[in-house]
Amino acid sequence: MTKQRTHIAEAIVLRRSDFQEADRRLTLLTPERGRLNVVAKGVRRPASRMAGHLELFTLARLFVVRRRSLDLVVQAETVQTFPQLRTDLNRLPYAYQAVEAAHILVEEEVEAYGEFVLLVQALGALATTAALPLVLVAYKLQLLASLGYQAQLQECARCGDPLSAGANRVRPDIGGAVCSRCGGVTGLPVTVRAIKCLRWLAREPLQTVDRLQVDTATTAQIELTADAFVRYVAEQDLKSSPFLERMRALKTQS
C-alpha cells in the first residue's frame, strides 16, 4: 500500500458541481497551489459532516489527499463564511463575479498567495459594504496587477504623454489608457474622472474603497474598463455578467 500524501490547505470554494452519486466536484482557490480541482466524497448525503464547510464562497481549512486523478477532500472545517453573500440578493451576483474572476484568471498548480488574500478581502468587503461595484472593480484591477497585468493608468500607455482632458480611451491590447492621438477609434472612451477613479481603486485596500464618491456614469465606465481588462487577459467573458445585469435591473424596477 502506498503512503497517502495528505496536506492541509486553506481554500475558498469557487465552484461546485455534483459528481457521481453523492459526491461533489469542487474548484478551489488555494495559496500554495492556485486553482485546484478536488472531489469531496459523500457530501450530498444528509449525514455528511463536511457538507456545511464546503459551501460556495466559504473559506475553509481542508485535509486533501493527493491522487493521480482528482485530489480528495477527506476533512473540512470552516474558517470564515460570508453568509450575507448568499442571503442578500444584491450581494450575491457581485460575489459570483469575484469568484469567477479568480476562476478564469488564476492558473492551476501555481502559487497564488497574493490572489488568495485579495479574494478573501474582496468577499469580506462585498459582505459588508454598500459600494459593491467599487469593490468589484478594485478587486479585478488588483487581481490583474497581482498576476502581472497592471493596467497603465498614469500616462498614455503608448506614447507616455500625460492623459489630459479629451478623447482618452481604454485599450487592454496596449495595456492601459491611451491619449486621444494614440487611441484611434477602437477601445472604450473614458473620462479623466474615470481614469482617476481607476487609479485610486487600483491601489486602495478593498475594505475602504467605499470612501470614494462616484456618479452613475463614471461607475458604468470603470466597470466596463475593469471587465475589458479581465476579458482581454482571460481570453473569455465573465459568464456571471448577465446575472449581475438582471439583478440590477430588478433592483431598479422595485
Q: Which residues bind Zn ion (CB under 5 A)?
A: 156, 158-159, 161, 179, 182
Give the residue with the Cβ less far from Zn ion, 159 or 167.
159
Shortest Å, Cβ 183 to Zn ion: 8
Give the residue with the Cβ less far from Zn ion, 60 or 179.
179
Give the residue with the Cβ less far from Zn ion, 182 or 230.
182
Give the residue with the Cβ less far from Zn ion, 93 or 176.
176
Shortest Å, Cβ 34 to Zn ion: 35
Shortest Å, Cβ 121 to Zn ion: 34
Shortest Å, Cβ 158 to Zn ion: 5
Shortest Å, Cβ 161 to Zn ion: 5
Give the residue with the Cβ less far from Zn ion, 48 or 168.
168
Contact 152, 177 (CB under 8 A): yes
Give the residue with the Cβ less far from Zn ion, 73 or 177.
177
Parallel/antiparallel/unpaired status of strands 34-40 and 23-30? antiparallel
Shortest Å, Cβ 217 to Zn ion: 24
3-state SS of the chain?
A: CCCCCEEEEEEEEEEEEEECCCEEEEEEEECCCEEEEEEECCCCCCCCCCHHHCCCCCEEEEEEECCCCCEEEEEEEEEECCHHHHHCCCCHHHHHHHHHHHHHHCCECCCCHHHHHHHHHHHHHHHHCCCHHHHHHHHHHHHHHHCCCCCECCECCCCCCECCCCCCEEECCCCEEECHHHHCCCCEECCHHHHHHHHHHCCCCHHHHHHCCCCHHHHHHHHHHHHHHHHHHHCCCCCCHHHHHHHHHHHHHC
Give the residue with the Cβ less far from Zn ion, 110 or 159.
159
Shortest Å, Cβ 240 to Zn ion: 34
Using CA atoms, how far residue 168 sits from 7, 163, 191, 231, in Å, is 50, 7, 7, 20
